[in-house]
């Protein structure tokens, strides 16, 4: 049994006994993320709220609140005194506080809570809420330690106040005492080791790596990974430091982006979580399936159309699935290179042409190998299946299959590279190229290729 | 033009002019990760080595070395004096040093370099090399600040030496002065603010979150995400702290795991990087394609077999691709829920049954909708396509299509949930379930379902 399950069962039975004192004890030993998992296992709001209320220590309760599922956050906030909600928000890091309010999705309630916040906190949060969620401003926190360059190390060490900072601190930032321009950073460990009487402006390391308020969060995440950063300052257009982005948020963003890619590739507009309900899962999936269905039916009509004129050679009807499967997989492989590496900002535009060439060549070479294998198997297998006499010469069939597999895989590779690049240029997510829409379009194309080759070769040979 | 491209062209032309002094200047302004990108754009080893050598500052050159592509690392190490390589390794964080040596893949060379290392560094690295790469021991670094609990805050502040620590420091760790057991951590900012005469043992926060040496790295990454950590201590079986894991490595691991899932889902055994060469790309992809091909051919023979006895009704041959596409996509959607959430350690075994039920029900309901759409379109469309008289009653065809789409999608959903769970229980990566192997197996199953339903309904109605 998992830890979560043990905690859940223990707290469940304590809830039945209404032993609030013991529940408080139990919760004291758990981290907020663990309490969130316990709460998510209860079905009734009453029990969920009781566990939330019995979580002592305002700071811990604030962190728990920011971790809860959106619908539970909303219910709790709607059923609580806005003053109390405001007290908890004041304990959150400003980015979590802004995210929390945004998640409530209820403008009246948000305004009500905002009025009960301390002025400074309210200003911070209102500012953060005004930024695009996907930008540097949208993912930064405004708490940071910035000091004028003319202070001494000793002054700074004496004025650091940990209680005002809700995220971990590794660096203090140094700004120009007059212009307030950002100058650089000093790690705490270097600060501790510095000469106490030295001016911080003299020991700050000038940093060329920072984010701007409107920088795309994927680009920021790529910089974190490239330079192995833990924290990054955010500067506004006047070159003043206005916040910092922390690596824990970047970790979440990176996982979310990967999940989003996978969701798109497998045909759901968002990730379907394991705890989504049935209707939610269907709502996210069905639209994509219906589009796929319409395209697949188009393919069926293409096949049907060609078969009408080729009905002497019914054996031909067995192979469209082979061409489609091979084209689909090759195209997917080619697309994947672009999807992830474009997302991770690893490919430079200068490299596009050589990559398109490599992929097309790879498709052609693999197409020759697979085409030969398929042709040989069909040449040997089809006479065995149609032992009672098959109206199509197995050698011609083998040729049709060889050329369509080979040509189909080459075309699919080319398309698999071109579509992600075009999507990217059009500002769309390249992952769409590996999704069901493009895959099924490829199926239609492969049916055309197959039957055109079949019709041509049959005209030549018969 | 990207920054990388500008730097590359500038350094390129300086190399032609053999202006080493100016190159050194240029490199001084770049971060090691930027220099790595410039180097990777040169084709000749001579140029790559020159840029590497002109990177001044041993620390920077050490970081650059650890960032280079594996084959370039190997070439540089093989062409350099092992003593010089040893000097650079001594500048690396111990985990990077161990990774670097492991990447060389040349035991003689590794031993040679090891003999030139300082004793302490050699012992550290040899120990790290002995751990499984996928475990806590394999991803930790051994540099950390641990102090006995009976020291005072002042003592500790005076003995912190930043130069011995290559990764950022946020916490000092406190150990029992007698048993050496791990006691807890103090953040640097709390240390700065503490009473200088207090014992560190009294202010250390006991932490319940740590990794063990043999803990799986995916489990460790899940803890980092769950608890929003930046660094985690690693304890051995005697409860002594032996290292720490830093969040930059966890970020890389999380991205790698996601990429691996995507690679498996799209049918390559590893991620094909955009800078892999043609043969490398083919080597990673072709085996999967050949397996897919053999399965697709099996499907063709299944279809061929049934068509033999149904050749009066050639229109039936147009629809296997529809059933396969719908089954494939539904199965993929169901599998995706499990693949990522099993990987991210989000689903508890207790939840399996209700999830299987939800997915199967979702497949059935969506199957009814899609089946109806397909049946109506076939009912209207087929008589138009076969206007010259079609030997199969469109109403019977519509029924065949409805039941096969519906039944095919339900079965695919069920299989899509069962296979990842079975793979996980067997210790395999659940992502295989969305890969070409399982998808093509599903195609064969859907052909069977389709023709069995067709044969049955035709027997009943004709």
Query: What pLDDT does A461 receive?
Result: 66
Q: Would you place residue A462 in the very low, low, confident or very high pLDDT band (cuts 50, 70, 90)?
A: low
Which residues in chain B touch residue A266, judged by CB atoms under 8 angstroms apart?
A: 265, 329, 332-333, 335-336, 434
Residues 6+ away with beta carbon under 8 Å from A160: A145, A169, A172, B189, B192, B193
Q: Do A189 and B4 count as a contact with CB atoms less than 8 A apart?
A: no
Instruction: Please name the residues in contact with A111: beta carbons below 8 A apart, sequence gap of 6 or more.
Output: none
pLDDT reading at B378 higher than 70: yes
Per-residue pLDDT, B60: 92
What order do you get walking across the sheet with B231-235 strand by strand?
A: B211-212, B231-235, B241-246
CA distance B263 to B221: 20
Which tokens in the block code for residue B364? Answer: 């059935």
**How far does B107 lie from chain A, in Å, by closest CA?**
29
Collect all residues of chain A within an 8 Å Cβ-Cβ radius of residue B246. 230
CB contact under 8 A, B265 and A261: no
The domain locations on chain A are 3-136, 146-247, 278-461
Task: List the strands of the sheet with B171-175, edge to edge.
Answer: B146-148, B171-175, B182-187
Helices (H), B344-387: 352-385
Interface test with A, best of B158, B244, B289 (most A CBs within 10 A): B289
* Averaged pLDDT of chain A: 87
Structure tokens at A79: 């059923």
Best mutation target, A27, A312, A322, to test chain B (most B CBs within 10 A): A322
CA atoms of B142 and B145, how far apart (whole Å): 10
Angle, helices A70-78 vs A94-104, to 10°: value is: 80
Q: In CATH, what class is B146-248?
A: alpha beta
Say which of A224, A230, A262 has its CB closest to residue B230.
Answer: A230
CB contact under 8 A, A325 and B296: yes
| Whole-number percent of chain A with pLDDT over 90 | 49
In the CATH scheme, what is the homologous superfamily, with its name and number, of domain A278-461? Answer: SLC41 divalent cation transporters, integral membrane domain (1.10.357.20)
pLDDT of B52 reads 95
- Confidence (pLDDT) at A249: 93
Tokens encoding A15: 């809830």
- pLDDT greater than 90 at residue B51: yes
Q: In this model, does residue A76 exceed pLDDT 90? A: yes
Chain A neighbors of B255, CB-CB under 8 A: 225, 254, 258, 344
Report the half-sphere exposure of A83 (CA within 13 A, side-chain side). Answer: 0
Asked whether the beta carbons of residue A170 and residue B165 sit closer than 8 angstroms, the reply is no
CB contact under 8 A, B436 and A308: no
Tokens describing residue A73: 């956050």
CB distance A336–B262 less than 8 Å? yes
pLDDT for B206-250, tens place per residue?
878 999 999 999 899 999 999 999 999 999 999 999 999 999 999
Task: Tell me the chain B residues in contact with residue A332 when contact means C-beta distances shorter than 8 Å.
Answer: 266-267
Answer CATH for A3-136 from 3.20.20.70, 1.25.60.10, 3.40.50.280, 3.90.1170.50 = 1.25.60.10
Cα Rg, chain B, nearest whole Å: 31
- Higher pLDDT residue, A404 or A314? A404
What distance in Å separates the CA atoms of residue B158 and residue B161, rounded to the nearest whole number? 8
Q: What pLDDT does A297 receive?
A: 86
Contacts of B193 in chain A (CB under 8 A): 160-162
Quick check: B304 and A358 CB within 8 A? no
Q: B129-180, pLDDT tens digit by residue? A: 999 989 999 999 988 899 999 999 999 998 887 666 667 788 999 999 999 9
Q: Look up the CATH number of domain A146-247.
A: 3.10.580.10
Q: Which of chain A's residues have a Cβ under 8 Å away from the Cβ of B374? A: 293, 297
Contact A322/B297, CB-based, under 8 Å? Answer: yes
Q: Is domain B3-135 in CATH 1.25.40.10, yes or no?
A: no
Q: Name the residue of chain B whose CA is nearest to A325's CA.
A: B296
Under 8 Å between Cβ of B93 and B143: yes
Q: Which residues of A touch B262 (CB under 8 A)?
A: 258, 261-262, 265, 336, 339-340
Query: Could you tell me the sign of the dihedral formed by the alpha carbons of B246, B155, A184, B21, in that order?
Result: negative
More confident residue, A164 or A90: A90
Please indicate whether, in this complex, the C-beta atoms of A296 and B382 are within 8 angstroms of each other: no
Residues B56-76: what's their mean pLDDT? 92
Residues A311-369: tens digit of each pLDDT: 678 788 888 888 988 888 888 888 887 777 777 777 777 778 888 888 899 899 999 99
Range A234-256 average pLDDT: 93
- Which pLDDT score, from 0 to 100, does residue B335 have? 84
Contacts of B170 in chain A (CB under 8 A): 168, 170, 188
| Closest A-chain CA to B310 | A314
Mean pLDDT of chain B: 87
Decide if pLDDT at B390 tops 90.
no
Alpha carbons B55 and B72: distance in angstroms, whole number: 16
Nearest CA in chain A to B264: A333
């Amino acid at each position: 049994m998992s830890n979560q399950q043990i905690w859940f069962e223990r707290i469940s039975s304590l809830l039945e006994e209404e032993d609030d004192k013991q529940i408080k004890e139990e919760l004291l030993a758990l981290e907020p993320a663990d309490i969130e998992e316990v709460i998510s296992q209860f079905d009734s709001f009453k029990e969920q709220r009781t566990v939330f209320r019995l979580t002592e220590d305002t700071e811990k309760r604030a962190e728990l609140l920011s971790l809860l599922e959106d619908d539970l956050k909303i219910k709790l906030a709607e059923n609580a005194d806005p003053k109390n909600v405001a007290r908890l928000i004041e304990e959150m890091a400003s980015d979590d506080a802004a995210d929390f309010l945004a998640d409530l999705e209820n403008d009246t309630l948000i305004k009500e809570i905002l009025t009960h916040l301390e002025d400074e906190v309210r200003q911070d949060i209102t500012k953060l809420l005004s930024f695009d969620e996907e930008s540097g401003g949208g993912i930064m926190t405004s708490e940071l330690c910035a000091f004028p360059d003319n202070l001494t190390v000793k002054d700074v060490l004496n004025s650091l106040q940990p209680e005002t900072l809700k995220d971990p601190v590794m660096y203090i930032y140094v700004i120009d005492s007059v212009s307030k321009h950002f100058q650089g950073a000093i790690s705490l460990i270097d600060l501790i080791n510095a000469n106490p009487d030295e001016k911080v402006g003299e020991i700050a390391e000038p940093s060329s790596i920072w984010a701007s308020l409107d920088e795309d969060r994927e680009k920021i995440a790529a910089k974190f990974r490239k330079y192995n950063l833990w924290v990054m300052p955010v500067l506004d257009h006047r070159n003043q430091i206005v916040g910092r982005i922390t690596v824990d948020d970047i970790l979440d963003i990176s996982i979310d982006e990967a999940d989003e890619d996978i969701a798109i590739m497998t045909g759901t507009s968002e990730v379907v979580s394991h705890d989504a309900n049935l209707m939610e899962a269907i709502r996210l999936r069905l639209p994509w399936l219906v589009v796929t269905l319409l395209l697949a039916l188009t393919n069926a009509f293409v096949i049907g159309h060609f078969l009408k004129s080729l009905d002497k050679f019914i054996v031909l009807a067995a192979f469209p699935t082979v061409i489609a499967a091979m084209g689909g997989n090759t195209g997917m492989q080619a697309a994947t290179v672009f999807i992830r590496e474009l997302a991770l900002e690893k490919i430079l535009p200068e490299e596009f042409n050589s990559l398109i060439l490599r992929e097309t060549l790879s498709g052609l070479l693999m197409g020759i190998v697979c085409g030969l294998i398929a042709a040989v198997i069909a040449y040997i297998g089809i006479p065995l299946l149609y032992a009672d006499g098959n109206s199509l010469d197995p050698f011609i069939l083998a040729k049709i299959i060889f050329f369509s597999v080979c040509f189909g895989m080459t075309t699919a590779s080319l398309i698999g590279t071109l579509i992600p690049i075009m999507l990217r240029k059009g500002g769309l997510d390249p992952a769409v190229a590996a999704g069901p829409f493009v895959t099924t379009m490829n199926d239609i194309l492969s049916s055309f290729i197959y039957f055109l080759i079949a019709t041509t070769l049959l005209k030549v040979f018969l």
